[in-house]
Structure 1
Amino acid sequence: MKDRDLSVPALLVTVVLWASAFVGIRAAADSFSPGAMSLGRLLVGAVALAIVARPRLSTMPQGRTLGLVILYGVTWFGIYNVALNAAERDLDAGTTALIINTGPVLIAVLAGVLYREGFPKPLMIGMGIAFAGVLLIGVSTRADSTAVDSASTTGVLLCLLAAVCYAIGALAQKPTLAVLTSATSVWLGCVVGAVLCLPFAPALVREVGSASGADLAWLIYLGIFPTAIGFSTWAYAIRRLSAGQVASSTYLVPVLATLISWAVLDEVPATLAFLGGALCLIGVAVTRLRRRAPVPPNAAAPGAMTS
């Protein structure tokens, strides 16, 4: 019996958890510096996945696969996390998620070339619509007087760095999933990222000692849910779908991040942000459309007799 494909539900889990991560980072930013938060989150994620995935030395990657693991571990799990955490000290959760989501464009374009996924019209049109929605969220947030922060140049540049690392990491991870299980792939990324962040260990120890219970809870949440679970469901989906299709679904992240931030942190979204969110939903729906397969010229008409 063929296993049921749960790629779409897995993507939905990823989108919700990654959206919540932007809020969690913002909430814990007063207690944890960017590097210490990254290291703490990755250590928690690595421990959680070690318990679930139970990785074995005999199944560890070698050669090219190991090189790709190190690449996405350094860029996506290491540099991305530090840059994202630092950016959210200047920007609200919704705006940060907005800028980070220039990444799916890079992923779709690079995957079309490197992995020969091509550039299907529904994917390109849908991504264009969703990106317009993301831009509308950003413009309206900046224009509305109820927006919590004004975008700083440093914050924007850090977000763009994170977006590039996101694209590189996602594309580097995809080939490794032909060899590694989803959970093992993410566990290895957490380990590599944590090693990269080890210089922040003294700061993490110091900040854990002075952090409130709520902020410690947020750090643990970030490690278990958006990292261990969210990245594993992402890996499950990208193993079965094209990188462009999976990346396009993350255009829903800014919409949810803005709404969660509104509910949890009282960061009020601008009025036009709701229209931008609707465009994101429409755009992602369009990317899921499939071209109708051409009918062979010799195909018999429905109901016709064949010998």
Structure 2
Amino acid sequence: MTTSAPPVSRRSELLALAAAGVTVVLWASAFVSIRSAGEAYSPGALALGRLLAGALTLGAFLLIRREGLPPKAAWPGILISGLLWFGLYMVVLNWGEQKVDAGTAALVVNVGPLVMALLAGWLLKEGLPKRLLAGMAVSFAGAAVVGLSMSGEGNASVLGVLLCLLAAVSYAGGVVAQKPALKHASPLQVTTFGCLIGAVACLPFSGVLLSELGDAPASATLNMLYLGVFPTALAFTTWAYALARTTAGKMGATTYAVPAIVVLMSWLALDEVPGWLTLLGGVICLAGVGVSRSKGRTRVVATAEEPGPVVDPAPDAVDPADSRRA
């Protein structure tokens, strides 16, 4: 016997969509702010400063709302997402953006939704459709084109692309770990304690942060604080709010607009525009994502028992009941 998920109200859907929209815009702005603040702060110091600002902001809201500690069942997901997404992701992304421009970083990191689907298929037993595997191959080919387009600037640029790919993997792993935690704790609780865990993981960079604070211009420090309050505290909370009301795959799809917004923002704020070959690689990356998210064609078959069409899934579709038949 199977049970269907409870229906989601139209109002809840609209609120989730609005929350996702806030997340996309603020995360796009983060790529530009990281690029700017990275001129004065090293990757680990910038991550720690951002996470401390985010944790203080989130902690204040948590106290005001009196939500307290998350239940025990939520802690495994919070711990993993805190280490991968708030900790590792932010350090390697900061490092990568010191090697490549903001638009290129956003294009490469947007491979994340594919990796997210792969991890969900492996860890959550959701299956590995042929289109997902084909899409991954296309996207990583696009990432390779981006890497080749940057190779004229030396190995450091290729290293930047690889760091952004690592950021995509850690981001995807964090989302997959966060989704189950949201069944037991509120979005604010999951985000607050995930951010706090990430900040604790980055504490070894505290000495570097203190030394760089004295020499950094005010604009760089303000960018770091902006990253903590808005793209971290606010955007990660709106992301968790929306993620709790939809699937990880659909939420990953909302981030497809980020690279285009980042290219526009970096052009206006930093006068940075990726080269044509880099943009081509990014388009290939997104094309792979589109292939992975597309649906196979359906065909109509007739049945003797009951007249009328019956939809027969395409060969690469995954039947949720397959695991129960095994």
TM-score (norm 1): 0.79
Whether the 8 Å CA contact 1:72–1:189 is kept in 2: the answer is yes
> In structure 2, what is the Cα distance between the partners aligned to 1:249 and 1:85?
22
> In structure 1, what is the Cα distance between the partners aligned to 2:25 and 2:191?
18
Paired residue type of 1:198: L
1:244 to 231, 236, 249: 249
> In structure 1, what is the Cα distance between the partners aligned to 2:28 and 2:278?
15
2:218 to 210, 213, 216: 213
User: Which position in structure 1 is the counterpart of 2:311?
Assistant: none
Whether the 8 Å CA contact 1:126–1:287 is kept in 2: the answer is no
Shift of 1:36: 0.7
Q: CA RMSD in A?
A: 3.6
User: Which position in structure 1 is the counterpart of 2:146?
Assistant: 138
User: Which position in structure 1 is the counterpart of 2:317?
Assistant: none
Matches within 5 A, 1:38-53: 38-53=47-62
SS at match of 1:269: coil
User: Which position in structure 2 is the counterpart of 1:4?
Assistant: 12
2:99 to 75, 80, 90: 90
User: Which position in structure 2 is the counterpart of 1:153?
Assistant: 158
2:41 to 27, 32, 36: 32
Counterparts in 2 of 1:276 and 1:203: CA distance versus 1, 3 Å: closer
Instruction: Indicate the percent of aligned positions where both proteins have the same amino acid.
Output: 42
Matches within 5 A, 1:1-307: 3-5=11-13, 6-54=15-63, 59-117=68-126, 131=139, 138=146, 142=150, 152-271=157-276, 280=286
Paired residue type of 2:98: R
Counterparts in 2 of 1:54 and 1:291: CA distance versus 1, 3 Å: farther
TM-score (norm 2): 0.75
Paired residue type of 2:197: V
Shift of 1:119: 6.6
Whether the 8 Å CA contact 1:127–1:248 is kept in 2: the answer is no
Whether the 8 Å CA contact 1:245–1:287 is kept in 2: the answer is no
Shift of 1:209: 2.0
Unmatched segments (≥5 aa) in structure 1: 301-307
> In structure 2, what is the Cα distance between the partners aligned to 1:281 and 1:245?
16
> In structure 2, what is the Cα distance between the partners aligned to 1:22 and 1:289?
31
Whether the 8 Å CA contact 1:91–1:150 is kept in 2: the answer is no
Shift of 1:47: 1.1
| Alignment length (residue pairs) | 296
Shift of 1:197: 0.8
Unmatched segments (≥5 aa) in structure 2: 1-7, 309-326
Shift of 1:117: 4.8
> In structure 1, what is the Cα distance between the partners aligned to 2:237 and 2:191?
6
Paired residue type of 1:109: L
> In structure 2, what is the Cα distance between the partners aligned to 1:55 and 1:141?
49
Paired residue type of 1:138: V
Counterparts in 2 of 1:271 and 1:156: CA distance versus 1, 3 Å: closer
SS at match of 1:240: coil
SS at match of 1:32: coil
Paired residue type of 2:12: R
> In structure 2, what is the Cα distance between the partners aligned to 1:157 and 1:135?
9
Shift of 1:64: 4.4
Whether the 8 Å CA contact 2:114–2:292 is kept in 1: the answer is no
Q: Which moved more, 1:95-104 or 1:222-231?
A: 95-104
Paired residue type of 2:251: V
Counterparts in 2 of 1:241 and 1:133: CA distance versus 1, 3 Å: farther
Counterparts in 2 of 1:26 and 1:60: CA distance versus 1, 3 Å: same
In the TM superposition, what whole-angstrom CA distance separates every residue of 1:244-273 from its partner, at most 9, and x where no partner exists?
111122122222112211111001233577
Shift of 1:37: 0.4
> In structure 2, what is the Cα distance between the partners aligned to 1:248 and 1:134?
18
